[in-house]
Structure 1
């Protein structure tokens, strides 16, 4: 899959205490409550409505959240990136890895009562191939090379031109009803009334929009009683749109909503002060990393693994996380997401050690000149001075400045250059015309861990191997893994790749951000791990249930009584 480049301590201690105290107070209450059907849950979405259609929502996270509840997919992925059947009843894969035979659940029906069939799946695939719809290019390209055939009402087959283990990633698209949209062209679907009155087969059905001054300010959903899995406990699910996180928090404080879709770092301290707001946190696969151009004659020292190691060793990443990310990130040690089934925890982890980094640079022949410059230089007059490009914007500027400051202490000079995100890719990364680049690799929507696009030799020219890492051993691991269907063997191959990456450090991994989701303590049954997309917070939404205020009060009284001397 082609991934896209997208471009203090006291406070943290207080946050940690608040998080701990919130979690600990819930423990004695939980056994006192049991799931019951009914109630209304309302959540603040930061963003606005565009269209409720899973084939058209790729650029609108608010629409994606709502669509997650209305529409079904063939597969979902759990928090380790392992596939979980959704509409699929069973699936068989041919020995050559090219044919996927799928049987659908026979009890799956659309919200209008019509059965979900294999023709609906094939119809949706045809839309994903269309040049007339705003589908991500890698998704369109894949489906244009895959044959999809309905064998009978509940059985279909996908035929691939060659084995491709990450194919399951592409089976998470929302299925659309052919009987309602089949007579429309792709262009007509974009402006169809369906996008305002969607019909899906998920756990919740569309009820109505909420209006204020003729503007859509929210959407109301109702639990679908004929859902093929266990129906949801919460009867009504309401989303309300807000322009920014501050407005969402204010709405919670005024009692307008019970949940906040994303508690950003800006509002986290205030949110943690809310006594009835539980915080659920999970890592997000958005890897901040520094690409080094390993084949640029202007910076030949990047070809020395010891120099690369010293550069990573000289960045105080934990301090950066604490000060610039308010502690809401985790250290990255390689290109595979720590939440993934393929992540290998046994790889070497580079710790912050500026003294050791300086010793490495000295051993490599780079010393501070006796007079004049403070930049390390070798006997040939080559200085450890290079340009670090980064996406324009305050958060990247602060990060780049912090990194450059750390390197300056080593005697390394990073000349900072802010550029537009699109420009960074088109002018610097694609033509490989750069020294070093600070970027984010967006791994969201890609539960399969396949890191081939960024690190395989075949991607050096024309691909996304921006570092031009030319390592045959690493490439062999990647090439074998992406056609290997046995997960145990794939795990072994990815373990080997990660060991090789950590040893060679072709780029400098920094950190993964943490996503925080705030939800009132009246909502029980919520669990959340790592997220491959933000809407994954709804993975077990049918198990959520509301606790009446009086039940909480009774439970709290019981806890106080038990705790009394």
Structure 2
């Protein structure tokens, strides 16, 4: 501990563990202020691994022949929220407009260009790979700017020149702010999203704010659109986020209200049988992607850079980042072979 901060924790092998004894005797966690600082410490030879490598550092890892990179999806989903409570200024209460925004978004390009491919694209708001996730009868939204423009025209938004911003019959321009956390990756994502929507004739201004300010804006419904990171448990319970009773004071920050979706959420909470719950959650996902109160943008992957001498590492899907140690008993460290000469 230094200056009241824990900077190192050591775990020792438990000698009376009921299973096979682990090969590694001690596991030392060292904490650094930033991923870059941790990577620099690795280059100095003081650690054997760096957890949570961000996209900005991946080229450094790929260029380092002494590192293996392990990846696994994590129980988190990044979404684009639309505030339906401000429909007087921005038409986010219109499902066709929300669908148009999704059709007009090339999510794969965002993942490839901004996240360097280190994310999965979900088809629904439920975490992919979990028991409740399904794409059966769920509307799909491939990148289709022509379909996006058609939906916007049908909703009453048009322009006379491709360089113009869309406007409705009253002359109101289709423009809004996209709020993001003041963090390099989120800011880059926000700018890339705004650039894509601009080609549709939508004027988007990216507003970068501190994470705490973003949270306060969501709670106060004081935003127009926002880039939001959510924890996504393996056993979903959408009640806090999408039930209609949470639209004004709860965590349903979009203000979305849909009676049938709320009924499904209520029934799923009271149902024990998993097959019956799956049927309910299938309908929930179908309706959610028809209404699109928010855009499921991507599921991040956890990047774990480990020295090549450390073998046996396997990463399962991670409900928590600590799950990367699930098979720690099978890890081992290759020792340098020393040839001893006898006289």
TM band (smaller chain): 0.7 to 0.9
Confirm whether residue 432 of structure 1 aligns to residue 221 of structure 2.
Answer: yes
SS of 1:344's equivalent in the other structure is coil
Partner in structure 2 of residue 470 of structure 1: 257
Residue in 2 aligned with 1:364? 155
Q: Counterpart of 2:85 in 1: which secondary structure?
A: coil
Residue 382, structure 1, aligned to residue 172, structure 2? yes
What are the residue-to-residue correspondences of 1:53-92 with 2, within 5 Å?
Answer: none
How far, CA to CA, are the matches of 1:421 and 1:248 in structure 2? 22
Residue correspondence of structure 1 range 467-546 to structure 2 within 5 A? 467-546=254-333
In the alignment, the residues of structure 1 paired with residue 205 and residue 55 of structure 2 have an alpha-carbon distance, to the nearest angstrom, of 29
SS in 2 for 1:266: helix
User: What's 1:200 paired with?
Assistant: none
The question of whether the paired residues in 2 share the 8 Å contact of 1:278 and 1:521 is answered with yes
Mark the runs of 5 or more structure 1 residues left unpaired by the alignment.
Answer: 1-46, 52-216, 552-565
Q: Is the 8 A contact 1:389 1:416 kept in 2?
A: yes
Q: 1:526 to 1:49 in 2, by over 3 A?
A: farther
Contact 1:284 1:512 in 2 (8 A): yes
TM-score, normalised on structure 2?
Answer: 0.87
Contact 2:87–2:93 (8 Å) recurs in 1: no
Q: Is structure 2 residue 136 aligned with structure 1 residue 349?
A: no
The answer for the alignment partner of 2:238 in structure 1 is 451
State whether residues 522 and 549 of structure 1, in contact with CA within 8 Å, keep that contact through their aligned partners in structure 2: no
Deviations 1:191-213 (A, max 9, x none): xxxxxxxxxxxxxxxxxxxxxxx
> How far off its partner does 1:455 sit?
0.5
Q: How does 1:57-456 map to 2 (within 5 A)?
A: 218-299=8-89, 301-346=91-136, 347-369=138-160, 374-426=164-216, 428-443=217-232, 446-456=233-243
Q: Is the 8 A contact 1:222 1:237 kept in 2?
A: yes
Q: Alpha-carbon deviations, 1:145-180, whole Å to 9, x = none?
A: xxxxxxxxxxxxxxxxxxxxxxxxxxxxxxxxxxxx
Q: 1:48 to 1:546 in 2, by over 3 A?
A: farther
* CA gap 1:422/1:345 in 2 versus in 1, 3 angstroms: same
Say if 2:90 and 2:224, in contact at 8 Å, map to a contact too: no
SS in 2 for 1:502: helix
In the alignment, the residues of structure 2 paired with residue 250 and residue 377 of structure 1 have an alpha-carbon distance, to the nearest angstrom, of 51
* SS of corresponding position for 1:362: helix
C-alpha distance in 1, partners of 2:187/2:106?
A: 16
CA distance in 1 between counterparts of 2:70 and 2:328 reads 14
Paired position in structure 2 for 1:102: none
Inter-CA distance 466–248: structure 2 relative to 1 (3 Å threshold): closer
Q: Distance in 2 between matches of 1:520 and 1:312?
A: 40
Q: Which moved more, 1:433-442 or 1:277-286?
A: 433-442
TM norm structure 1: 0.55
> Structure 1 residues 540 and 468 mapped into 2: Cα distance closer, same or farther (>3 Å)?
same
- Describe the shift of the 1:421–1:221 C-alpha distance in structure 2 as closer, same or farther (beyond 3 A): closer
State whether residues 335 and 451 of structure 1, in contact with CA within 8 Å, keep that contact through their aligned partners in structure 2: no
Other-structure match for 2:341: none
CA offsets 1:57-112 (integer angstroms, 9 cap, x no match):
xxxxxxxxxxxxxxxxxxxxxxxxxxxxxxxxxxxxxxxxxxxxxxxxxxxxxxxx
Higher relative contact order (CA 8 A, sep 6+): 2
Per-residue CA deviation, residues 224-264 of structure 1 (Å, 9 max, x unaligned), is 11124443232222333444333433443444333222322
CA distance in 2 between partners of 1:517 and 1:392 (Å): 24
Task: Give the whole-Å Cα distance in 2 for the aligned partners of 1:245 and 1:464.
Answer: 30
Aligned pair count?
336
Local SS of the residue matching 1:438? strand
C-alpha displacement of 1:382: 3.4
Once the two structures are TM-superposed, the CA of residue 527 in structure 1 deviates from its matched residue by 1.6
> Which residue of structure 2 lines up, in the alignment, with residue 125 of structure 1?
none
Tell me the distance in 2 between the aligned counterparts of 1:424 and 1:243: 22
Deviation of 1:454 after TM superposition, in Å, equals 0.7
| Distance in 1 (alpha carbons) for counterparts of 2:183 and 2:38 | 24
Q: Secondary structure at the match of 1:473?
A: helix
Cα distance change on mapping 1:356 and 1:544 into 2, 3 Å: same
